[in-house]
């Protein structure tokens, strides 16, 4: 059986990503649940799980992974560099596999029929942006840190010379849209997002047009978790869009933030937390934070609400996660 038959919503998502790539079939390796594609000399693997029936509907976890740099004895330096770079990332998070000594970018969504209007297009776009970011990051880190790019090759076709031109064309569409006026400004769904905050947050304030600021419970210190979603901050490469930032009020050294950010990205990617893994844990204003940028091109009426629900869910589980860690640390060792 193959995902190409599109028997489930998850397989429809894989097919959408495949079509968005405009792939060269020679550099595709099929799997029963997805595919690996070489758009250049880096490999990207897209997969869907079988789906989980819950609350009267099936939820599919669709993910994409692009390996881009090897540690080669410079893992702490790479982590420190990534914690700042990903503050200006888009929709992917960085993870590190110590067994293979490889860093990768990952993104994913929990796809349902209810949220497919936003998540299907967002996931396809996130994968394209991820591949572009992986190429840029790998070249930058290899040059500045003297580590090596995680080159890969198709098992029968061998290494690919050059980069798929469709990626450049897709990126140009994002930048062109980002130069236009922000599509989220003044939209009616800000009221729907306010309803989410009214239900989930401790406090919130909104201008009803372009930004919402909220706080969530934090049981490991005096200050609450801080959340801001808005359109005032443009992306340095993609221009206008929607930025969302969740800040954890916990003092940490820079090296500690970088390592913890990668661990949290890995945890989210491997645990069923029901919040889309679009964005990344990173360092923002010297604090541990989760950052997401949704480009102007990806505007849909559902996007803002989906982002707010995912961030509220993330605030809840990360608070519980740190509370559990503190309780474990307080237990006497046997």
Residue 113 resides in a domain: yes
Q: How many of the other CB atoms lie within 10 Å of CB of 203? A: 10
* 320 lies in the same domain as 227: yes
* 174 lies in the same domain as 75: yes
Residue 276 resides in a domain: yes
139-144 long-range contacts (CB < 8 A, ≥24 apart) are 140/85, 141/69, 141/78, 141/81, 142/69, 144/81
Domain edge (last residue) among 124, 153, 178: 178
Instruction: Take residue 239 and report the two structure tokens written for it.
Output: 């221009």
Residue 224 resides in a domain: yes
* 62 lies in the same domain as 162: yes
* 253 lies in the same domain as 318: yes
* 234 lies in the same domain as 125: no
Give the pLDDT of residue 168.
78
Give the pLDDT of residue 316.
95
Give the pLDDT of residue 274.
80
* 174 lies in the same domain as 35: yes
Residue 138 resides in a domain: yes
* 284 lies in the same domain as 215: yes
Q: Which of 175, 71, 90 is nearest to 134 (CA)?
A: 90
Range of the domain at 169: 3-178
Residue 183 resides in a domain: no
Residue 184 resides in a domain: no
Give the pLDDT of residue 231.
97
Give the pLDDT of residue 22.
85
Give the pLDDT of residue 333.
65
Residue 131 resides in a domain: yes
**Lookup result for tokens 């349902």:** 112
* 101 lies in the same domain as 226: no
* 88 lies in the same domain as 213: no
Domain edge (last residue) among 130, 145, 178: 178
Give the pLDDT of residue 216.
97
128: domain CATH number is 3.30.1460.70
Q: Give the total number of structural domains in the chain.
A: 2
* 227 lies in the same domain as 277: yes
* 251 lies in the same domain as 271: yes
Q: What is the DSSP string of 94-130?
A: EEEETTTTEEEEEEEEEE-TTTHHHHHHHHHHHHHHH
Give the pLDDT of residue 334.
58
Find residue 107's DSSP bridge partners. 64
pTM: 0.94
Sequential pLDDT tens for the chain (334 residues): 689 999 999 999 999 999 988 888 999 999 999 999 999 999 999 999 999 998 789 999 999 999 999 999 999 999 999 988 899 888 999 999 999 999 999 999 999 999 999 999 999 999 999 999 999 999 999 999 989 999 999 999 999 988 888 787 888 999 999 999 999 999 999 999 999 999 999 999 999 999 999 999 999 988 999 999 999 999 999 999 999 999 999 988 888 899 999 999 999 998 888 899 999 999 999 999 999 999 999 999 999 999 999 999 999 999 999 999 888 888 776 5
Domain edge (last residue) among 136, 152, 178: 178
Q: Which of 62, 59, 53 is nearest to 34 (CA)?
A: 62
Radius of gyration of the chain (CA): 20
- The whole-angstrom separation of Cα 185 and Cα 183 is 6
Residue 97 resides in a domain: yes
Find residue 45's DSSP bridge partners. 36, 65
322: domain CATH number is 3.30.1460.10
* 153 lies in the same domain as 244: no
Q: Which of 131, 144, 148 is nearest to 80 (CA)?
A: 144
């Amino acid at each position: 059986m193959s995902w190409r038959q599109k028997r489930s919503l998850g397989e429809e998502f894989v097919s959408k990503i495949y079509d968005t790539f405009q792939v060269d079939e020679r550099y595709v390796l099929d799997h029963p649940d997805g595919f690996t594609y070489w758009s250049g000399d880096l490999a990207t693997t897209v997969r869907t799980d079988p789906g989980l029936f819950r609350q009267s509907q099936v939820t599919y976890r669709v993910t994409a992974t692009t390996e881009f740099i090897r540690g080669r004895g410079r893992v702490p330096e790479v982590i420190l560099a990534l914690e700042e770079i990903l503050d200006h990332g888009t929709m992917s998070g960085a993870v590190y596999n110590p067994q293979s000594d490889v860093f990768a970018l990952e993104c994913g969504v929990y796809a349902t029929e209810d949220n497919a209007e936003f998540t299907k297009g967002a996931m396809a776009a996130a994968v394209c942006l991820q591949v572009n970011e992986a190429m840029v990051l790998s070249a930058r880190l290899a040059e500045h840190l003297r580590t090596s790019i995680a080159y890969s090759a198709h098992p029968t076709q061998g290494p690919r010379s050059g980069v798929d031109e469709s990626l450049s064309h897709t990126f140009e569409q994002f930048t062109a849209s980002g130069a236009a006026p922000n599509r989220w400004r003044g939209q009616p769904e800000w009221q729907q997002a306010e309803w989410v905050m009214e239900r989930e947050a401790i406090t919130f304030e909104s201008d009803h047009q372009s930004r919402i600021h909220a706080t969530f419970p934090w049981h490991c210190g005096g200050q609450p978790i801080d959340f801001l979603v808005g359109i005032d901050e443009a992306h340095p490469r993609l221009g206008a869009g929607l930025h969302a930032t969740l800040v954890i009020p916990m003092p940490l050294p820079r090296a500690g933030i970088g390592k913890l950010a990668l661990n949290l990205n890995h945890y989210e990617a491997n645990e069923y937390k029901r919040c889309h893994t679009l964005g990344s844990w990173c360092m923002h204003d010297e604090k541990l934070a989760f950052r997401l940028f949704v480009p102007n091109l990806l505007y849909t009426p559902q996007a803002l609400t989906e982002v707010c629900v995912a961030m509220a869910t993330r605030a809840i589980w990360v608070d519980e996660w740190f509370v559990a860690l503190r309780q474990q640390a307080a237990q006497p060792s046997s």
